[in-house]
Structure 1
């Protein structure tokens, strides 16, 4: 008889694990507390506009290809994927922006035009980044985080100094232009940490940016969710929505025996949680929790976010699909996130105008705009604060891009710390999990296999390999491999 696995949550890591476990012969049921699947990657629709509530960037396409190939499929069996050209735009001041092209030769020219000689340094930097990418993605990130020896290889030994230097030092060694520095330091924000705290080895994110490019699934990132759900269902996975897990029930030997779902007990042989790690442990009796409140309070978390989903009654000018507004001091904003948590006075922000690329996401002649301000988790979150910061970024958008957009707003919806807690049981309302700093890498992250409860496993952004959509897919594979290997 096939063993039963109940997976808590339906985010990318859960969807990934569900398919691998079903393929291996397990009877898999995914339990989602909300009324739609996808976890943080849900969708919001209003008045003919469509928004991705969560992730909007499609990077590292090779990871998606590898996932689907494990089931004899390709991404384009489920969704249409297009490379963005240009990849994104960065604003530094009024009428002062750099648009990052969709190919390397054009990127080298952009750098050389901005700072003579910088293209030579960029080529060298990206050569190292590509080597690190191959080592990281092909050899390191699929490790289960059990032993420090997982990080030891001839390649990592040769690069050991890169683990004790930082992206910031590496980037600034040869590049002097502050604009180019900010563009090179930007990708590590996907790792949820400051460039000054991120090991130089993580420059592989720059290869993911410039080398592999920025892509868009037609219809939005939710099309990836739908594709993964379709694959999982074809393998026999059952999905149950509006299924809130209240408790993980164990027997006298501290082994999982059931889940309490909406007050009803459901027997299971094994539980894999793709929900927030801290929250999942709250579903256990206190003596069965691996990590204390003190442990979590000392961890460095990636940011939370204040998000706005805005429908405009006209097309927005002088912006790209992905547009970054770096017209304020990043170091000051970063201190407000990581060092002395507070609402930033002048935050950097990001905007996605996905309907520039994809006309299916907004009515004809109109624009769908998503705005994101990174914030420290755990901050006070009120409607007054949300409105204050919306006005701040809208004022800067109008000034920097030279247009009036405020009068063209049809509607707006916000999402912030309180919503991350309510919708996803997120610890302190964080958006991206644990930051990928040196002391929270690989075996130093919370474990996939519970040390106290038999047949309880974890997957997702708070365990290995870390935050981001591609790492979430990988985390699902790691967890399922561990379950299969242990014959749980």
Structure 2
């Protein structure tokens, strides 16, 4: 964008410094705008903050799966860089492991031929079925990434695209993910492998469109990667790109009110200042922005609307530092000794603390010596949990010991007696730190009625210069979609300014 000589350069406030906020800020600054990012916490990154302990551990507090590397690469390419200019990526092999029992473990190899052999060893004929499944999934992935995720979801006319119309049937938007998987595979282990992303990022497999088999393509074909130093390195890299383009970051500066005049946000009030702005990107929790920062007449949605949304899970998380190395753990391990469906029901259908939980363990110190002292181990343990559940120390401890009993039995190592650091994180922390609606960890579930144009709008319908970004709007939950969301929101605000200039 080129501004006319002697004209006012629009100033923009971005609320929130998660991946969506930093992405939006960088794209806006590159287009010539003055951009301030306001972050309520002391550190940038939102859910991707890092926890640095006094005794030498570095924990990624949130995201730990680096999938869809080309989305990260596109961001950096758009600014004349490569991801490798900022951090080193390592392809994990195995990408992850699934534990079905103490002596029943499925390692998911990075090599496709080895993956095919693994499927064939579990279910005869499933190697060919995998090829067919992933061919379909690749089509969805490419159409999704090229045609769908960069659309703002503001009009059905966005989808009047020849490739989209021609491929609508193949995208399987109206087919159940669960039925789709079972039409290819019969063995419960293979079904669990294919359905696990749904538990962590969406809804019941029965309620998720088969379109999202594109996640299987991302995980099984494009690989599971790890940024050396953790996701904090990705945040730092994106921050560096934004600052190089002129973005200014303000930490410990919560936004408390958006002043609206004549259908425009005229000023942004934080706990220490009140400043005029020409436009705002709200990359903080969408519900919080509407309910707490705007008056009732300026909100897109009612409290009743929000209460009816299907949210992806919250989580109970433990950050553990150990004074010894742990056997039998790789970088990513999913503990699926219990039934996936039962845990999913207790998240989505009859919300309660799970009776027989599945959980996930990330052990980045297996790959990265920098995240723990020499000879020590860094463990991140996550149990998906229904949002808005009662959360207290007694419940956290109960599940800590329930999980550690299983983890110690599997590894054959004593873990509790070697604890060097322990911190828990749950529903109330998500609410306190991120103003997270109902304490959700991943945003909206990817149900049919919450896909594309049916998600909360990226544009405020009453305020012309306010747009939203992040996991509660398009394109959806996860790190790559959040980076894309910031890009899309920035383009919409730029479009608003361009239209304004031509009037």
Same fold (TM over 0.5): yes
Query: How far did 1:265 drift?
Result: 1.4
Hey, what's the Cα distance between the residues in 2 that align with 1:165 and 1:134? Answer: 19
Query: How far did 1:118 drift?
Result: 0.7
Residue 150 of structure 2, aligned match among 132, 137, 142: 142
Contact 2:324 2:377 (8 Å CA) reproduced: yes
Residue 50 of structure 1, aligned match among 47, 50, 58: 58
Matching of residues 279-318 of structure 1 within 5 Å:
279-282=288-291, 283-318=293-328
Hey, what's the Cα distance between the residues in 2 that align with 1:349 and 1:153? Answer: 41
What SS is found at the alignment partner of 2:48? Answer: coil
Hey, what's the Cα distance between the residues in 1 that align with 2:174 and 2:362? Answer: 34
Contact 1:304 1:374 (8 Å CA) reproduced: yes
Hey, what's the Cα distance between the residues in 1 that align with 2:160 and 2:263? Answer: 34
C-alpha distance after superposition, 1:435-459 (max 9, x if no partner): 1111001111111110011211110
Query: How far did 1:57 drift?
Result: 0.6
Residue 47 of structure 2, aligned match among 40, 58, 69: 40
Structure 1's 190 and 392: CA in aligned 2 closer, same or farther, altered over 3 A? closer
Hey, what's the Cα distance between the residues in 1 that align with 2:200 and 2:72? Answer: 17
Structure 1's 225 and 327: CA in aligned 2 closer, same or farther, altered over 3 A? same
Q: Are 1:81 and 2:81 counterparts?
A: no
Q: Which runs of 4+ in 1 moved over 6 A?
A: none
In the superposition, the TM-score normalised over structure 2's length comes to: 0.95
Matching of residues 6-21 of structure 1 within 5 Å:
6-21=13-28
| 2:405 corresponding residue in structure 1 | 395
Hey, what's the Cα distance between the residues in 2 that align with 1:189 and 1:211? Answer: 20
Hey, what's the Cα distance between the residues in 1 that align with 2:354 and 2:50? Answer: 28
Q: Give unmatched runs, 5+ long, in structure 1.
A: none
Query: How far did 1:351 drift?
Result: 0.5
Query: How far did 1:196 drift?
Result: 1.3
What SS is found at the alignment partner of 1:40? Answer: helix
Hey, what's the Cα distance between the residues in 1 that align with 2:157 and 2:200? Answer: 26
Contact 2:15 2:39 (8 Å CA) reproduced: yes
Hey, what's the Cα distance between the residues in 1 that align with 2:163 and 2:242? Answer: 36
Q: Give unmatched runs, 5+ long, in structure 2.
A: 1-7
Hey, what's the Cα distance between the residues in 2 that align with 1:40 and 1:467? Answer: 12
Hey, what's the Cα distance between the residues in 2 that align with 1:135 and 1:60? Answer: 14
| 1:244 corresponding residue in structure 2 | 254
What SS is found at the alignment partner of 2:384? Answer: strand
| 1:131 corresponding residue in structure 2 | 139
Q: Are 1:255 and 2:261 counterparts?
A: no
Residue 91 of structure 1, aligned match among 91, 99, 118: 99
Contact 2:279 2:493 (8 Å CA) reproduced: no
Give the number of aligned pairs. 487
Q: Are 1:266 and 2:258 counterparts?
A: no
Hey, what's the Cα distance between the residues in 2 that align with 1:479 and 1:462? Answer: 13
Query: How far did 1:30 drift?
Result: 0.2
In the superposition, the TM-score normalised over structure 1's length comes to: 0.98
| 2:386 corresponding residue in structure 1 | 376
Residue 37 of structure 2, aligned match among 30, 35, 40: 30
| 2:73 corresponding residue in structure 1 | 65
C-alpha distance after superposition, 1:199-258 (max 9, x if no partner): 11211111101111000000001100000000000000000001011100112x131000
Contact 2:200 2:313 (8 Å CA) reproduced: no
CA RMSD, 1 decimal: 1.2
C-alpha distance after superposition, 1:54-105 (max 9, x if no partner): 1011000011111111111100111111111110010001110100011111
C-alpha distance after superposition, 1:258-302 (max 9, x if no partner): 011105311111111100000001211111111000000001000
C-alpha distance after superposition, 1:374-394 (max 9, x if no partner): 011100000110010010110
Contact 1:140 1:150 (8 Å CA) reproduced: no
What SS is found at the alignment partner of 2:429? Answer: helix
What SS is found at the alignment partner of 1:202? Answer: helix
Query: How far did 1:330 drift?
Result: 1.1
| 2:212 corresponding residue in structure 1 | 202
C-alpha distance after superposition, 1:303-347 (max 9, x if no partner): 000000000111111111000000111111111111111111111
Hey, what's the Cα distance between the residues in 1 that align with 2:179 and 2:69? Answer: 28
Residue 473 of structure 2, aligned match among 457, 463, 467: 463
What SS is found at the alignment partner of 2:46? Answer: coil
Q: Are 1:350 and 2:357 counterparts?
A: no
Matching of residues 168-183 of structure 1 within 5 Å:
168-183=178-193
Task: Tell which deviates more after alignment, 44-53 or 182-191.
Answer: 182-191
